[in-house]
Amino acid sequence: MTGKQVEIEIRPFASRDLDCIVDLSLRAWAPVFSSVKASFDPELYEYFYPDWQAHQEKDVRRTCSSPDNKTWVATSDDRPVAFAAIRLSVEDKTGEIFMIAVDPDFQRRGISRRLIDFVTGQMKAAGMEMCMLSTGADPGHEPARLAYERSGFKPWHSIIYFKKLLDD
């Protein structure tokens, strides 16, 4: 189901969406985690993601249910096909797209762009002056990086280092 644009409605997250969002996010991020595993130090990957599906499911459930976040759902025929969770920092007038995913069956149809435009509009209406998001630098995140750049985001280059402190 790629190519042709699809009609979507964007609405606030409802608890009935959660299982569907978890499912679509795990399918959407499977190739990303495969890429991360291939390009990450094996010891670090195993430390952070011994079971990436369980980790990601917990993270999605926590993110969607947190009162600190606002989650929006893109639906097609009343079925969730994408979601984005945002955070607002009133103090520094910065919004963050904390989590976003599009169902693999609906990717490459402009849904992420419409969802990004929608949530950044919500941020602007809430008085935010800047929007940020972060993503990986590995090959599996390239489609996300391209989508963000097409939406007008500019990269801020940084590197995060880790060192394991405990010996086996």
Query: What residues contact 118, with CB distance under 8 A and at least 6 apart?
Result: 10, 72, 84
- Yes or no: say if 33 and 141 are a contact pair by the CB < 8 Å rule: no
User: pTM (2 decimals)?
Assistant: 0.85
* 2-28 pLDDT tens trace: 467 889 999 999 999 999 999 999 999
* 95-148 pLDDT tens trace: 999 999 999 999 888 899 999 999 999 999 999 999 998 877 777 777 777 878
pLDDT at site 32: 85
Q: Which domains does the chain have, with CATH numbers?
A: 9-150 (3.40.630.30)
How much is the mean pLDDT over the chain?
89
168 pLDDT band (50/70/90 cuts)?
low
32-46, 83-97, 114-128: the lowest-pLDDT one: 32-46
- Cα–Cα distance measured from residue 41 to residue 65, given in angstroms and rounded to the nearest whole number: 32
Q: Which residues pair with 12 in a beta bridge?
A: 72
Q: How many CB atoms lie within 10 A of CB 83?
A: 30
* DSSP-assigned states of every residue in 82-124: EEEEEEEETTTTEEEEEEEEE-GGGTTSSHHHHHHHHHHHHHH
